[in-house]
Structure 1
Amino acid sequence: MHTILPFFLAMIAAIVLLNMWATKLKIAYPILLVVFGLLVSFVPGLPAVKINPDLIFFIFLPPLLFEASWSISFKEMKKWWRIIGSFAFLVVFFTALSVAVVSNYFIPGFTIALGFLLGGIVSPPDAVSSGAIMKFVKIPKTTSAILEGESLLNDASSLIIFRFALIAVGTGQFVWQEASLNFLWMIIGGAGLGLLLAWIFVQVHKRLPTDASSDIALTLIEPYLMYWLAEQFHSSGVLAVVCGGLYMSSKRMIFLSSTSRIRGYSVWESFVFILNGIVFLIIGLELPEIVGGLRSEGIPLPTAINYGVLVTGILIAARIISSYAAMLATIIFRPGVAPRASSNRRRLMMPIILGWTGMRGVVSLAAALAIPISLHGAPFPNRNLILFITFVVILLTLLVQGLTLPYLIRFGHVFDDFIDDEKEELVRQEIKTKLKQHVYHFLKDKHENELQSHAGIERMLKHWEEKNKASDTEWMNEKTKLIFLEMLESQRQFLSELNKDISINEEIIRHQLYQLDLEEERLRMI
């Protein structure tokens, strides 16, 4: 313990420092973390990093998926559900099938079942890597929403493939009828259990006298409970966490106070950042042990690298082909929502960009490490080779695609026709104007009698009518504070109704709601 603890603390410090360095260099921090972990792994005397395969999913996936489901815009997911669904399920299956066929043909000892196992591991793109890279380039909100929605659901579909392939490898057979029923139960049971538990958690937050600290503590254990219970019923724990997280996210204004939302945002942001950083460091630190396993099995390192490069090429090609197929289907069946560009060159470049965003990361590593070490008392077939191929795929997609994607977007001018900062700023200003008008009419209509009898309320009305930015709380008392709080709640309801307009970006609405939470906290401190 005294050996591991300093090493663990050093890992967290390294994550923070590398993130700052990555921001300065304007590259995605997962890239630096993987490379740093790889370099550190060659330092003699460091403790070996080993994680129990049975715990890897349970430790990392639930909180990462839960936080992602709170961050995504459910409204945008509904708007683009067709393309998100096709990429999250059809494209993942097509990618896994491609990897299975190619690995069965080119890699000695690989059956179709092992190929599907490898395909299920490496098929889901990583949301963290894509999001970290997208910070340094401007892309349309539509593309961002599609990538976020896809990354939230493709984890579930790929892990379902992984689970069935693992069963096929273990039993040596695959019964389609039984698999189909199990597949339906995993989806329906996982989603249903997640929604049921989320509803129960919402009621707990609402009915118990919780404060900000207890609210945050509960949200930290809730994704683990969702995942664990769903897995106990042999359904998809991933879908349970995703569906439950989406439901609770949509109800956050109801069961969480402004204090809980503000503090919880900071806690979750730091927690998920550390988890992601640890996983990406582990990717690099695990390599020496994986290479040692290859040598013990008599597999030459150059041969294993070639297999990894081959699988990476298949993944990139399958995603680009799928992107073109999706664009063609959209043009044929839904031309009204098809992307428009000023030239055919830019239109044809868009699927390449979408295909080039398929960096792999946390989920692929977690799935690979979750492969059991032994099977029926014997070593699991080709486990070390699968781990090494997964490592090569993660490393190549992060370095090659991750480093070139910003330049491909920036210098290819692909999204120049779609990015409109002026339009978004106009929407922000319009919402602010509507909020001011709403507050003014709220005070006039609901507190007209009190306007004549209380100098503080008169001043409040004058403040909003004249849009005076000065702050003066000398006249504030409990009565005016209650009216202020009531006014803030009225603004939240107004924004919630405004958010039903599909043309308004939900990110703008959430920003305004966050500002209202900050204002409420300031009032409560007076």
Structure 2
Amino acid sequence: MHTILPFLLAMIAAVVLLEMWANKLKIAYPILLVVAGLLVSFIPGLPAVRINPDLIFFIFLPPLLFEASWTISFKEMKKWWRIIGSFAFLVVFFTALSVAVIANHYIPGFSIALGFLLGGIVAPPDAVSTGAITSFVKIPRSTSAILEGESLLNDASSLIIFRFALVAVGTGQFIWQQAAMSFLWMVIGGVGVGLLIALIFVKAHKRLPTDASSDIALTLIEPYFMYWVAEQLHCSGVLAVVSGGLFMSARRLEFLNSESRIKGFSVWESFVFILNGIVFLIIGLELPEIVEGLHAKHIPLGTAIGYGVLVTAILILARMISAYAAMLATFIFRPNVAPRARRRNRTWLLPLVLGWSGMRGVVSLAAALAIPITLDNGTEFPQRNLILFITFVAILLTLVIQGLTLPYFITRWNVFDGITNHEAEHATRKQMKQGLKQHIYKFLKNKHENELLDHPGIEKMIKQWEERSKAGDEVLMNEKTKLIFVELLESQRQYLSELNKDPNVDEDIIRIQLYQIDLEEERLKII
């Protein structure tokens, strides 16, 4: 413990320093972390990084999925559910099938079951990598919503493939009827468990005398509890966390107060950043042990690298084919929602971003490390070391090659020219703020008109809103005025919630304004 703890603290410090360096270099921090971990792994005397395969999913996956489900726009997910669903399920299966066929044909000792196991591991793109890389360029809200929504669901589909492939490798047989029933239970049971537990926690937040600290502590427990209960019932823990997270996210205004939301946002942002950073460092640090396993099996390093490059090429090709197939299907079946650039030749560059944004990362590493060392009968798990190495190569190549070139493609070819509408965004913000000012004035005028004559503070407040100016900090407020102001802020939240039902309004803009209202409410407490 005395050896590992300083090493873990050093890892966190390295994550922070490398993230700052990555921002200065204007590259995504996961790329730098993986490369740094790889370089550090060659330093002699460092303790070997070994993670218990049984715990790898439970430690990292639930909070990462839970946080992602809170940040995504559920409204955008509903809007683009067809393409999100196709990429999260159909494309993942197509990718896993492609890897399985190629691996079975070209890699000695790989059965179809082992190929599907490898395919399930490397099929899902990593949301953190994609988000970090696309943050340096401006992409349309629809594209980011598709990538975020896909990343929430493709983990579940890939891990279902992974679980079935493990059973097939262990037993040597695959019964379709049992697999179909198991699949239905994993999906339906996972969603049901997540929603039920989320409902229980929402009621607990409401009825218990919680404060900001206890609210945040409960939110840290919730994803682990959802995942654990679902896995105990042999359904999808990933879907349980995602469905529960989406349910709670949509009701955050109901059971969390402004202080809990503000502080919780900061805590979760730091917590998830540290988790992601550690995982990407571990990806690089794991290489020496993986290479050792290859040497133990007398597999030449060059041959293994060749297999890794082959599988990576299949991953990229399968996703590119899927992206252009989705674009073509959209033009045929739903031409009214098909994206179009100002120039027709650029329209067909749009799937390039979706297809080229398939960087692999956390989930692939976790799944590969979760492969048991031995089968149930005690024999060694076949090709485990080679699968680990191929996964590492796929993560490294997609992060470095696609991660470094994706922003260049977007900016060099002006892929989103004519689609990213900054004027519309600005107009939406202006319309929202104008609507808020009118709503505030009407609220105060109608609800507190009788108090205008006997309270100069409220009269001044209404006059300021009527004149469309902000009340300065020098305005003194007594407790009565504060209560009215808090009521006014709550009315603004209700107005924004109603406005968010408009499908043309960007939910991110609404959330930013809600965050500012939370800050204003907290400011009132210290006046």
Common topology (TM > 0.5): yes
Q: Answer whether contact 2:461 2:471 (CA < 8 A) is retained.
A: no
Q: How does 1:70-81 map to 2 (within 5 A)?
A: 70-81=70-81
| Structure 2 equivalent of residue 478 of structure 1 | 479
Question: How far 1:221 moved relative to its partner?
Answer: 0.5
| Structure 1 equivalent of residue 127 of structure 2 | 127
Which ranges of structure 1 fall in alignment gaps of 5 or more residues? none
Question: How far 1:470 moved relative to its partner?
Answer: 5.0
* Paired AA for residue 192 in structure 1: G
Q: Answer whether contact 2:96 2:123 (CA < 8 A) is retained.
A: yes
CA distance in 1, matches of 2:471, 2:211: 32
* Paired AA for residue 167 in structure 1: V
* Paired AA for residue 185 in structure 1: W
* Paired AA for residue 38 in structure 2: L
| Structure 2 equivalent of residue 458 of structure 1 | 459
CA distance in 1, matches of 2:295, 2:476: 77
Q: Deviations over 1:27-85 (max 9, x none)?
A: 00000000000000000000000000000000000000000000000000000000000
Which stretch shows the higher mean deviation, 344-353 or 254-263? 344-353
CA distance in 2, matches of 1:451, 1:379: 81
Specify the SS of the correspondent of 2:515.
Answer: helix
Specify the SS of the correspondent of 1:379.
Answer: coil
Q: Answer whether contact 2:342 2:417 (CA < 8 A) is retained.
A: no
| Structure 2 equivalent of residue 305 of structure 1 | 305
User: Quick one: percent identity of the two aligned structures?
Assistant: 76
| Structure 1 equivalent of residue 198 of structure 2 | 198
User: Does structure 1 residue 292 correspond to structure 2 residue 315?
Assistant: no
| Structure 1 equivalent of residue 325 of structure 2 | 325
CA distance in 2, matches of 1:196, 1:487: 33
Q: TM-score, normalised by structure 2?
A: 0.99
| Structure 2 equivalent of residue 408 of structure 1 | 409
Q: How does 1:102-251 map to 2 (within 5 A)?
A: 102-251=102-251
* Paired AA for residue 331 in structure 2: I
Q: Answer whether contact 2:100 2:119 (CA < 8 A) is retained.
A: yes
CA distance in 2, matches of 1:408, 1:219: 39
CA distance in 1, matches of 2:475, 2:141: 43
CA distance in 2, matches of 1:351, 1:459: 55
Specify the SS of the correspondent of 1:336.
Answer: coil
Question: How far 1:468 moved relative to its partner?
Answer: 2.4
Specify the SS of the correspondent of 2:336.
Answer: helix
User: Does structure 1 residue 512 correspond to structure 2 residue 513?
Assistant: yes
CA distance in 1, matches of 2:480, 2:22: 50
| Structure 1 equivalent of residue 499 of structure 2 | 498
| Structure 1 equivalent of residue 59 of structure 2 | 59
| Structure 2 equivalent of residue 3 of structure 1 | 3
CA distance in 1, matches of 2:526, 2:261: 16
Which stretch shows the higher mean deviation, 324-333 or 208-217? 324-333
* Paired AA for residue 58 in structure 2: F
Question: How far 1:157 moved relative to its partner?
Answer: 0.5
Question: How far 1:166 moved relative to its partner?
Answer: 0.5
Specify the SS of the correspondent of 2:354.
Answer: helix
CA distance in 2, matches of 1:338, 1:323: 13
Q: Deviations over 1:484-515 (max 9, x none)?
A: 00000000000000000000000000000000
Which stretch shows the higher mean deviation, 375-384 or 208-217? 375-384
CA distance in 1, matches of 2:237, 2:444: 48
* Paired AA for residue 341 in structure 1: A
Q: Deviations over 1:173-202 (max 9, x none)?
A: 000000000000000000000000000000
| Structure 2 equivalent of residue 430 of structure 1 | 431
Q: Runs of 4 or more off by more than 6 Å in structure 1?
A: none
Q: TM-score, normalised by structure 1?
A: 0.99
CA distance in 1, matches of 2:252, 2:354: 32
Q: Answer whether contact 2:308 2:394 (CA < 8 A) is retained.
A: yes
Q: Please, what is the CA RMSD of the aligned residues?
A: 0.7
Aligned length: 526
CA distance in 2, matches of 1:76, 1:274: 28
Question: How far 1:222 moved relative to its partner?
Answer: 0.4
CA distance in 2, matches of 1:474, 1:187: 55
